[in-house]
Amino acid sequence: MHPYVIYIGIPIILVLSIVTFSFRRKKKYKDGKKVANSEFIENTSYFKWRIVEYRICKVVSVVSLALAMSFLTGALARPYKTSENITEIRNRDIFLCLDTSGSMTEVDLQVCEKMREVVKGLKGERFGITIFNCQTVTLVPLTTDYDYVIEVLDQIEEACRIALGEYGEGYYSEEDYAKYKFIEDGTITYDYDSGSSLIGDGLASTVFQFPDIKEDDSRTRVIVLCTDNELFGQPFVELSEAAELCVKYKIKVFAAAPEYVVDYDEYKRCVVSTGGQIFTLNSDSVAKDMVRAIDNTETSVLLKSETVTTEYPEKLVALIAICLFVHFLVSRRIKL
């Protein structure tokens, strides 16, 4: 990252090494004493070996210190490498449109379990969640944060279990009631005339949660509709009309249906008219079948390129430590 550190540092280290060698030659006899008639000692093998050892250690001492400084210079220059990561992003948007009316509580538990498997099987698609009763609420806008999507599914499941009283006290305690409200707030108006489980309204509202739906028709759009089709009240949009909206905007509807669906034939006709199909939640392979069906919808794969910069000073730091260890060990040996 900083090559100029090497351009400046290495010449300085070379100059210092040369000066060090020259300076030590001039100090050869400064602290020593001259001894007469030393020829006998100088000719002994022990003395010769100690001289060789001294010279080797002196060279090793200076070289190890110079290397340590060189590696330090390299570390200060911050070596790095870049790599290009290419990931596939599927040009597909998926919304889970979930009926949270009272008759769907047990079914929603199954839906959450199966949809977790579906979400885990996605590879780059954007996923969102809407819930509806007499009104529609967007819990999760389209996102690729699958961990967050699964977290919201867990919260829906917990609210359903509280509604069924599986935690003993039902949702009568303050804490449990607050958790149950997660699937109730915004979906009902407490107005008797507002009705319940307005499927057409829920599906039509979800259609318009897709961004740029009128301007951008390049993306594949899918809605996973979960309801028992048990309608109470008069919706603004009939299910057949909502299905026509899906056809208009090229949105395929896949239904995750319980074992019993009110007016099944009409419900199936609306779903199939969008190019989708119905899956029964009681099937063990419903999650895999749904992922396979979604995968078979037309889509394009976008390649996202990302350049990643990684620094790697670890080896240089290790080499610096080794060189300094050798330097101090050798210096101690010759008492420099």
Q: Do residues 190 and 74 share a domain?
A: no
Does residue 31 lie in a domain region?
no
pTM: 0.62
Residue 187 tokens read as: 């979906």
Q: Do residues 225 and 208 share a domain?
A: yes
Q: Do residues 44 and 100 share a domain?
A: no
Q: How far apart are CA 225 and CA 210, in angstroms?
A: 15
Number of domains in the chain: 2
Q: Do residues 198 and 256 share a domain?
A: yes
User: Helices in 77-189 by DSSP H: which ranges?
Assistant: 105-120, 146-163, 174-180
Q: Do residues 316 and 293 share a domain?
A: no
Does residue 111 lie in a domain region?
yes
Does residue 91 lie in a domain region?
yes
Q: Do residues 250 and 322 share a domain?
A: no
Q: Do residues 137 and 173 share a domain?
A: yes
Does residue 219 lie in a domain region?
yes
Residue 22: Cβ within 10 Å count: 9
Q: What is the pLDDT of residues 262-278, one digit of tens each?
A: 888 999 999 999 999 99
Does residue 145 lie in a domain region?
yes
Does residue 275 lie in a domain region?
yes
Q: How far apart are CA 36 and CA 38, in angstroms?
A: 6
Q: Do residues 59 and 98 share a domain?
A: no
Q: Do residues 56 and 96 share a domain?
A: no
CB 116 within 8 A of CB 155: no
The CATH number of the domain holding residue 299 is 3.40.50.410
Q: Do residues 213 and 327 share a domain?
A: no
Residue 323: Cβ within 10 Å count: 20
Q: Do residues 158 and 200 share a domain?
A: yes
Does residue 194 lie in a domain region?
yes
Going residue by residue through the chain (336 aa), what tens digit of pLDDT does each one get?
888 888 888 888 888 877 776 665 555 556 667 777 777 777 888 888 888 888 888 888 888 888 888 888 888 888 888 888 776 666 789 999 999 988 888 888 888 888 898 898 887 789 999 999 988 999 999 998 999 999 999 999 999 888 887 655 544 678 888 888 888 888 887 666 677 889 999 999 999 999 988 888 778 899 999 998 888 888 889 999 999 999 999 999 999 888 888 888 999 999 999 999 998 887 778 878 888 888 787 665 556 677 888 888 888 889 999 988 988 888 887 765
In order, the DSSP letters of 251-301 are: EEEEEEE-S--TTHHHHHHHHHHTT--EEETTSTTHHHHHHHHHHTS---E
Q: Do residues 22 and 100 share a domain?
A: no
Structural domain range at position 64: 3-26+36-79+312-334
